């Protein structure tokens, strides 16, 4: 008769993965919860300033928008409709023309968006926003 004592136990030859799966799921949940908070904070940036300076290889048309709403293209005061017409004419001459938009940093976003929309409706494909160095 073969009787086993309590001291004799079978050797475990496999790895129990249940605790590993539990820890992995907890880490995944923590990651998903914190990712939403990180993305919310990422929107709080100061856009008008930049540390890097980008040099444009070719000159671009400059559009300026002052705090009082004055709109200028190459130092000539224009309205929003005139801006669109002037840019449409320039794009017909040179389809790859670039536009550099210089807007006051304290302007409301919707005013800058109106000018950007007029530039895009004029057919301009390459628009850059001017920023000052820190």
> Is residue 7's pLDDT more than 70?
no
Tokens of 31: 């990651």
Residues 62 and 30 in one domain: no
125 inside domain: yes
pLDDT at 23: 93
41 inside domain: yes
113 inside domain: yes
Residues 78 and 121 in one domain: yes
pLDDT at 42: 40
Write out the residue range of the structural domain in which residue 28 sits: 16-45
Residues 27 and 66 in one domain: no
CA atoms within 13 A on the CB side of 14: 3
Residues 58 and 26 in one domain: no
Q: How far is CA 55 from CA 59, 101, 130, in A?
A: 10, 15, 11
pLDDT at 3: 56
Averaged pLDDT of the chain = 78
Residues 66 and 85 in one domain: yes
Report phi then psi at 71, rounded to 5: -110, 130
11 inside domain: no
116 inside domain: yes
Whether the pTM exceeds 0.75: the reply is no
CATH of the domain at 78: 3.30.420.270
The total domain count for the chain is: 2
> Is residue 43's pLDDT more than 60?
no
CA atoms within 13 A on the CB side of 19: 2
The answer to whether the CB of 102 falls within 8 A of the CB of 130 is yes
């Amino acid at each position: 008769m073969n009787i086993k004592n309590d001291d004799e136990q079978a050797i475990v030859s496999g790895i129990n993965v249940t605790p590993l799966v539990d820890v992995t799921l907890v880490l995944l949940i923590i990651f998903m919860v914190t990712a939403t908070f990180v993305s919310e904070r990422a929107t709080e940036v100061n856009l008008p300033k930049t540390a890097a300076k980008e040099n444009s290889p070719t000159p671009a048309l400059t559009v300026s928008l002052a705090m009082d709403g004055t709109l200028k293209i190459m130092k000539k005061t224009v309205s929003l409709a005139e801006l669109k017409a002037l840019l449409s004419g320039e794009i017909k001459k040179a389809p790859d023309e670039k536009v550099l938009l210089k807007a006051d940093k304290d302007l409301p976003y919707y005013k800058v968006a109106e000018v950007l929309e007029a530039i895009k409706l004029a057919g301009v494909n390459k628009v850059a926003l001017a920023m000052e160095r820190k």
